[in-house]
Amino acid sequence: MRMTRIVRSILANYESDNPGTKSNLARILMNGKLGGTGKLLILPVDQGYEHGPARSFAPNPEAYDPHYHYKLAIDANLSAYAAPLGMIEAGADSFAGQIPTILKMNSSTSWATEKDQAIHGSVDDALRLGCSAVGFTIYPGSNYQFEMMEELRDIALEAKGVGLVIVVWSYPRGGKLSKEGETAIDVCAYAAHIAALMGAHIIKIKPPTMHIEQEEAKKVYKDIDLTSLSNRVAHVMKSSFNKRRIVVFSGGASKDTEGLLKEIRQIKNGGANGSIIGRNTFQRPREEALALLEEIIKIYKGKE
């Protein structure tokens, strides 16, 4: 596998990792149309677990089929495909070796009354299915945050020991956090930093708003320009070990094409490593989704 100077420089930031883990991280960074640029575009499909099948797939009924998502990620030439155990198993043989996969190991449901997640996959599953990485969600701020962090610690230790990459969904919620506070700039930057401290190779967070949740943080943030999303993204990147960790931003709830592309441009201008977008692609008809993903790739390549 060829490797660009940019990818070599990114790998150099992960000083404790073994050749197996670095090879898998390089595989993700070198795959697809963004391969070698240091930018990533990942398709995550865990929404059926989180929100239910109808809310996730009824807008585009073809998406009920797990093979649909593999094909979308492969045909769009994306960096990787992330999904829970059953979704990965359903196409593991048909699409073996065609795209790096990320086994999403824990999830919640729309019925949950507590901000916690169930673990439903293992490192052994990831190895058996040929995955390059495992994904894990933590909820900083939740009453269960420390249990989730301890679960991540054990999984990360095991996964790194066998050469897998760690992708952490760091989504603040629960506890004393307000709904608005879940995407506040001070909270998102804190969440990204926690994921870096936990040993994540790739960190996934939501695009931050201008809201500042923590009273103690307001006096610090008064001297930081947060007026644009690109500035807020740049601050999150600085909080992620001064850009030494890969950070990708979610696409969030469904939005119109121009609104999504405008957000992607600002994320790119803020120096982020890319995007991880699910509903905003697979809920659209296939050809429309492919066209949208191509536009996003052009943005990250600086060619739009």
pLDDT digits (tens, 9 = 90+) for 151-182: 999 999 999 999 999 999 999 999 999 999 99
Q: What is the pLDDT of residues 5-28, one digit of tens each?
A: 999 999 999 999 999 999 999 999
What value does the mean pLDDT take over residues 232-236?
A: 98
Would you list the DSSP string of 156-220?
HHHHHHTT-EEEEEE---STT--TGGGGBHHHHHHHHHHHHHTT-SEEEEPPPBS----GGGHHH
pTM for the predicted model, two decimal places: 0.97
Spatial distance between the Cα atoms of 48 and 63, rounded to a whole number of angstroms: 10
| pLDDT band per the 50, 70, 90 thresholds, residue 113 | confident
**Residues facing 134 on adjacent strands:** 103, 166
What percent of the chain has a predicted confidence (pLDDT) above 90? 95
Query: What was the pLDDT predicted at 300?
Result: 98
Q: Which domains does the chain have, with CATH numbers?
A: 5-301 (3.20.20.70)
Tell me which residues are annotated as active site.
171, 204
- Number of helices followed by number of strands (H, E) in the chain: 14, 10
> What's the N-to-C CA distance of the chain in angstroms?
28
